[in-house]
Structure 1
Amino acid sequence: MGESAAPGRLRVLLLEDETLIAMLAEDILIGLGCDVVGPVATVAAALRLVAAERIDAAVLDVNLGYGERGYPVADALAELGVPFAFVTGYGRDSIEARFHDRPWVQKPFGGEALAALLGTLTGRRMTLDGA
């Protein structure tokens, strides 16, 4: 965290409380040629990064541990104009109605789904070879 990004590389905030899913998502994002900001598991940690780091896009888990939800981070990113998407294991109905226009992907997900999600967010063609 806090490292300089390579020129032209997307800096993607990853908010995910499940360690194995965070590791998988981080590996996929790196494979897509992104610099991962995080991963972090709490709203407080994510909000600190939003305030301190350059973030080009974000992937946010909806339901975090201890009853936390990713919406405060989504609100902060929306205020800054940073595109974001949700990941959830519970389907679209688990996402608050005010965010139903935002892209999302069902957990578990693979590389192609995350690539498509980032492509939707950024308008870039994302491939797992990082090109």
Structure 2
Amino acid sequence: MRTLIVEDEMLLALELEHEVEAGGHRVIGLASDLSEAMALIEQEQPEFAFVDIHLRDGPTGIAIGRHLASKGIPFVFVSGNVKRIPADFEGALGAIEKPYSSNGLQNALSYVQAILSGEALPTPPPSLITFEAR
């Protein structure tokens, strides 16, 4: 799965990149603000994205999520404060709260892969907060 990571804290972005690649997926780019994310979305056409809410240029992760949803690209918010996520989740499959565990992240990736593969909708893992569970 071609994955975009939108995260402004470089150590967290690199850790997330490692976890995504360890799960057998490809990271197509790292973005730390709105303009970088928009450019990567258009140039690389990700199949999935992890999006932090508060980025280098402010709380622009929500706008990035709206753009991804408008293009039909599934995404998950990753945030230290999930209360900042709009009530309707802006089209996200869910959210992962920081700090997250390696196991929780891998379970979320497996869930997303199952959805993208067209499998029957699996039960979301406990590490993934969904709109319905809120």
The TM tier, using the shorter chain, reads 0.7 to 0.9
TM-score by length of structure 1 reads 0.79
In the alignment, the residues of structure 1 paired with residue 104 and residue 77 of structure 2 have an alpha-carbon distance, to the nearest angstrom, of 12
Q: Give the aligned residue type for 1:120.
A: Y
5+ residue gaps, structure 1:
1-9, 126-131
Matched with 1:77 is 68
How far apart, in 1, do the equivalents of 2:21 and 2:93 lie?
A: 23
CA drift of 1:70 comes to 0.5
After superposition, residues 49-128 of structure 1 pair within 5 angstroms as 49-90=40-81, 92-99=82-89, 102-123=93-114
Structure with the bigger RCO (C-alpha within 8 Å, sep 6+) is 1
Q: What do you get for the CA RMSD once the two structures are aligned? A: 1.9
Q: Report the Cα distance in structure 2 between the residues aligned to 1:57 and 1:119, rounded to whole angstroms.
A: 12
Aligned match of 2:18 in 24, 27, 31? 27
Tell me the SS of whatever aligns to 2:20: helix
In structure 1, what residue type is equivalent to 2:85?
I
State the alpha-carbon separation in 2 of the partners of residues 36 and 105 from structure 1. 18
Give the AA of the match of 1:57.
F
What is aligned with 2:128?
none
C-alpha separation in 2, matches of 1:34 and 1:51? 20
Structure 1 segments (4+ residues) deviating >3 Å: none
Identity fraction in percent: 30
TM-score, normalising length from structure 2? 0.77
Count of residues in Structure 1 that have an aligned counterpart in Structure 2: 115
The CA deviation at 1:54 is 2.5
SS in 2 for 1:60: strand
